[in-house]
Amino acid sequence: MKPFPRAFYRVWQFWQTLTGTLSPNDWREVKLVLTLNELPLFERMNRADQAHSFRVMKSLQAGGHTDPNLLTAALLHDTGKGLHPLRFWERPVPVLAKGLLREDVHSPGNGNLHGWRRPLIIAKEHPAWGSEMAARAGSSSLTVWLIRHHQDENPPPIDHPAAERFLTYLKKADNKN
């Protein structure tokens, strides 16, 4: 993506953070996809992450994807952020820091979620946290795997014929939205 269009994308993304909310019809769609045990994970997310995750699901559906594992993963892929919600001013930090800071700065270190590294740690660790939450809620092993690896470059294999394809679709929809 060229820098100028990317800047427009970031402005759009920021606007979505400010204004993103789900309508009653959107909530009905969410409730059709998630189980009663999974729904609280989605509800725990902040409005911006809910709206983002809903857009990811709708993007997948617009591409003809109907697999419930994939759609559930779309709705819950950022649920780990609900454990340690980012403050409004922290949300752009991981995006701005990417490429500017060494990778080891993003590592959890001693697990301290205070200070300037907090948003970087949350951005890096939320897939693991979210996948554990989804597993406890009874999500399928494929859904859990998709959530856990939605940011990974080289995820470990899983015994499911569509797993790698689904992960590619999820990543593309996530990056687009």
Note down pLDDT in tens along the chain; length 177 residues: 455 455 555 554 555 555 578 999 999 999 999 999 999 999 999 998 999 999 999 999 999 999 999 999 999 999 999 888 777 666 666 665 665 554 555 455 555 666 677 888 888 899 999 999 999 999 999 999 999 999 999 999 999 999 999 999 999 999 998
Specify the pLDDT at position 1.
46
**DSSP codes, 151-163:** T-SSPPP-S-TTH
Residue 30: name the closest of 69, 88, 78, 71 by CA.
71
Contact 156, 132 (CB under 8 A): no
Q: Which domain holds residue 116?
A: 3-176
Q: C-alpha dihedral over 111, 39, 68, 137, to 10 degrees?
A: 50
- Tally of domains in the chain: 1
Q: Taking the complete model, does pTM exceed 0.85, yes or no? A: no
3-state helix, strand, coil in the chain (%, to 5): 65, 0, 35
Give CA–CA dist 105/97, Å, rounded. 10
